[in-house]
Amino acid sequence: MFVPILKQGDYLIASVQSELSDADLLKLRDDLVSRVGEFRSRGVIVDVTILDVMDSFATRTLRSMAHMIMLRGAKTVIVGIQPEVAFSMVQLGLKLESVATALDLEEGMALLDRQTEGDTRRG
């Protein structure tokens, strides 16, 4: 399933619209990592509100994606993790570790705004 990536100012927003297969996740990762350089974005938001399940592969892919994006010079925020998903993730011992998370898109944008405040690229 194709995940649309929207450019919103200095940020990229990837809004997941349906359950993702492993291949979809890898494609999303590759797309985002390349777009970050293309648009010179400072932040990436991945909205997973729609997901009912986050398995180990999804968690690992998101985590590695965040690290790659960091190496490309941008910050990543995962937003919209549902209560049930959060609970099952900690029960399964899945961790996003250093990846920032926020309640929803709005909070995610605010978080990125704060984190990139001192950014020299800021206009």
Partner 1 sequence: MKSKKTNEQANQSKDKLRRELVDHFREKREPLRHQWVEQMIAKGLLAGLTREEIETESMTIYDTCIACLETGEYDDAQTYAIRMAERGVLQGMTSEQIIGGLLTLRDVYGRSLFERYQHDIEGLSSALDIYEPVANKILSIVALAFVAEREKVVRQQQEAIQELSTPVLQVRDQMLILPIIGVIDTHRARQLTEQLLRTIRTSRAKVVVMDITGVPGVDSKVANHLVQTVDASQLMGATVIVTGISPEIAQTLVTLGVDLTKMNTVGDLQGGIEEADHLLGYKVVRIESSNGFIRKEKV
Cα–Cα–Cα angle for 50, 53, 54, nearest 5°?
105
CB atoms within 10 A of CB 29: 19
Binding residues for partner 1 restricted to 91-120, rule: CB under 8 A: 91, 95-96, 101-104, 107-108, 111
- Total residues interacting with partner 1, rule: CB under 8 A: 20
Q: What is the token pair recorded at 113?
A: 């705004």
Site for partner 1 in 20-79 (CB under 8 A): 79
Q: Which C-beta is closer to partner 1: that of 31 or that of 115?
A: 115
Interface with partner 1 (CB under 8 A), residue from 69, 81, 109, 112: 81
Measuring CA to CA, how many Å separate 62 from each of 9, 28, 77, 107, 109? Answer: 22, 9, 10, 19, 18
Residues of this chain that bind partner 1 (CB under 8 A):
79, 81-87, 89-91, 95-96, 101-104, 107-108, 111
